[in-house]
Amino acid sequence: MPARTGQQYIEGLKERPPTLYMSGKRVKDPTSQAGLSGGIKTLARMYDLQHDPVIGKEMTYRSPTTGDQVGLSFLTPKTHGDLDRRHHMMRNWAKITCGMMGRTPDFLNVSLMSMAAAGKFFGQNRPEFEKNIYDYYEMVREKDLVLTHTLVNIQRNRSGAATALDDSLDVALSVVKETDEGIIVNGARVLATLPIADEIAVYPARSHRLPTGAPGRTSFAFALPCDTPGLKFQCRESFDLQRSSFDHPLGSRFEEMDALAFFDNVLVPWERVFLYGDVDMCNNMSLTTHQYLHSGHQVVTKNVVKCEFILGLANLMVQTLGSSELPQVHGMMAEIIENLEITKALLRSAEVDAELDEWGVMCPVDISLMVARQQFIKMYPRMGEILHLLGSSSLMALPTEDDFSGPLVEDIDRYLETDFSSAKERVKLFRLAWDTCCSAFGSRQILYERFFQGDRNRNVVLMNTRYDKEPMSQFVLDFLNQEELE
């Protein structure tokens, strides 16, 4: 089947809705559910872009099995040119959301592609798992399905004395039984962003390693349809408050939702199991398959777009307030420019120095992507702070759209215009700034960037452990051992 249209994605959700619960009720039809339908419409726009008469060609490629045009994020990159094509495709999707939907389907499509390409890794103990992961990748690619994923067990006790496993053994997702049909899993996981999806992938997080000696029943990777019996998603409160795009320009469009995933003795058929019972494999899955390099490529591509959006927004804010020539404003604008250019440069170096890995896949460079990720954890909250400092009271002097047809409209028009903007244009812009850095939607963006791909503290350990520092130590030793100059 060729790449889906937006309507086909919506119909898929209607026919087989994920088992979502929100605000104390079961969601019957997510596509018409207040608080979810805005994000679904935006995802549908992305799928429609695959059929756009101009950009559509950049968004798809020819399926190696069916010859149909399928989504380009499924492409197995073999050359630098392939990575470049994928970059453009992912950038086109990120621009639709101003970088505000982190979990657009390309994030998991590229992950799944890399796992399938590294199929031999999965097949090393159980040869059938190699076929399982490849068949699953092909099925998702050909049906153009949307995936969510959940990797981390819910916090129960993260004290130093507790191991990553002990702290949550009674609630952690684990295999409770094996049957002829498959494995039965029980427990909970946090979080599944984008539960408005067709399928859920469950695999180990690179950041949360299982301790040595952990029981095999805690190590697995599998995938299931989101309407599988026993699987339930508890959504958080929606930040799409059903207001107009004037009042809540981001929340009304880009609510991707986050959900807890509860597994109540769920059967995972054997053909959907990719890894089971091997703690070392579980801990090394992401690093060995290079899955994190491909999802990292999507993340940093999205982050460049997000920086561009923040820079454009900040520039319009200071132009509107006439503050652009103040020395401290130059300083803050320069900081955003630096963030954008550093992120772009790291993305570029990750792509230019990309190499084929042992699975024959062109992989962006590990350290460039890791640094970009670590920097963004600091950059994004700071950019939110800069928007606060640039906007100050204008971020609260915010009548709603209705107020522009209310009894105070003459006062609003008179007192809220600036020397550079009408009152309505100013309010429209600053409502966008508010939704970026002050609203519940905006705060969640900051939390997301801090944590969605592992926390900074664990990530620095990973980076420092893996970085080869020996050549630099040798450099210093050579210097220390130099003979005195004549």
Q: Which stretch binds ligand FAD (CB under 6 A): 118-126, 188-196, 214-222, 433-441?
A: 188-196
Cis bond upstream, residue 191 (ω within 30): yes
Q: Is the dihedral of CA 206, 208, 212, 213 positive or negative?
A: negative
- Return the DSSP state at 4: P
Within 8 A by CB and 6+ apart from 297, the residues are 83, 86, 87, 90, 110, 347, 350, 351, 364, 369
Give 80 or 458: the residue with its C-beta nearer to ligand FAD: 458
Q: Could you tell me the smallest distance in angstroms from the CB atom of residue 264 to ligand FAD?
A: 19
Which residue among 42, 207, 301, 303 contacts ligand FAD (CB under 6 A)? 207
- Return the DSSP state at 237: P
Which residue among 58, 171, 452, 462 contacts ligand FAD (CB under 6 A)? 452
Q: Where does residue 258 fall: left (phi above 0), alpha (psi -120 to 50 degrees), or beta otherwise? A: beta
Among positions 23-52, residues that touch ligand FAD (CB under 6 A) are none
Give 59 or 185: the residue with its C-beta nearer to ligand FAD: 185
Tell me if 158 contacts ligand FAD by CB under 6 A: yes
Which residue among 117, 151, 370, 416 contacts ligand FAD (CB under 6 A)? 151
Q: CB 322: neighbour CB atoms within 10 A?
A: 12
Give 272 or 426: the residue with its C-beta nearer to ligand FAD: 272
Tell me if 104 contacts ligand FAD by CB under 6 A: no
Q: Could you tell me the smallest distance in angstroms from the CB atom of residue 416 to ligand FAD?
A: 34
Q: Which amino acid is at 14?
A: K
Q: Could you tell me the smallest distance in angstroms from the CB atom of residue 67 to ligand FAD?
A: 33
Give the distance from CA 483 to its chain's centroid: 53
Tell me if 358 contacts ligand FAD by CB under 6 A: no
Q: Are 401 and 412 a contacting pair, CB within 8 Å? A: no
Q: Which stretch binds ligand FAD (CB under 6 A): 52-60, 186-194, 222-230, 375-383?
A: 186-194
Tell me if 193 contacts ligand FAD by CB under 6 A: yes
Which residue among 243, 458, 462, 463 contacts ligand FAD (CB under 6 A)? 458
Among positions 208-267, residues that touch ligand FAD (CB under 6 A) are 258
Tell me if 3 contacts ligand FAD by CB under 6 A: no
Which residue among 455, 467, 472, 477 contacts ligand FAD (CB under 6 A)? 455
Which residue among 212, 457, 465, 482 contacts ligand FAD (CB under 6 A)? 457
Give 130 or 258: the residue with its C-beta nearer to ligand FAD: 258
Give the residue from 363, 210, 323 showing the smallest Cα distance to 275: 210
Among positions 389-448, residues that touch ligand FAD (CB under 6 A) are 444, 447-448
- From CA 241, how far away is CA 326, in angstroms rounded? 36
Among positions 114-143, residues that touch ligand FAD (CB under 6 A) are none
Q: Which amino acid is at 185?
A: V
Give 103 or 431: the residue with its C-beta nearer to ligand FAD: 103
Partnered with residue 150 across adjacent β-strands are: 202
Q: Are 20 and 163 a contacting pair, CB within 8 Å? A: no
In angstroms, the first-to-last Cα distance of the chain is 76
Give 130 or 240: the residue with its C-beta nearer to ligand FAD: 240
- From CA 40, how far away is CA 25, in angstroms rounded? 19
Give 192 or 423: the residue with its C-beta nearer to ligand FAD: 192
- From CA 197, how far away is CA 19, in angstroms rounded? 10
Which residue among 46, 152, 369, 427 contacts ligand FAD (CB under 6 A)? 152
Give the H/E segment covering residue 27: none
Q: Could you tell me the smallest distance in angstroms from the CB atom of residue 86 to ligand FAD?
A: 21
Torsion angle (degrees, nearest 10) of CA 56, 137, 282, 198:
70
Give 158 or 469: the residue with its C-beta nearer to ligand FAD: 158
Give 149 or 294: the residue with its C-beta nearer to ligand FAD: 149
Q: Which stretch binds ligand FAD (CB under 6 A): 81-89, 241-249, 366-374, 453-461?
A: 453-461
User: Which token pair is 408?
Assistant: 């105070």
Tell me if 370 contacts ligand FAD by CB under 6 A: no
Q: Are 188 and 173 a contacting pair, CB within 8 Å? A: yes
Within 8 A by CB and 6+ apart from 125, the residues are 277, 278, 281
Tell me if 155 contacts ligand FAD by CB under 6 A: yes
Q: Are 164 and 171 a contacting pair, CB within 8 Å? A: no
Q: Give the helix, strand, coil percentages of the chain, each rounded to 5.
A: 50, 15, 35
Which residue among 95, 342, 451, 463 contacts ligand FAD (CB under 6 A)? 451
Give 136 or 233: the residue with its C-beta nearer to ligand FAD: 233
Which residue among 192, 281, 432, 437 contacts ligand FAD (CB under 6 A)? 192
Cis bond upstream, residue 43 (ω within 30): no
Torsion angle (degrees, nearest 10) of CA 203, 204, 210, 216:
20
Binding site for ligand FAD (CB under 6 A): 103, 149-152, 155, 158, 190-193, 207, 258, 444, 447-448, 451-452, 454-455, 457-458
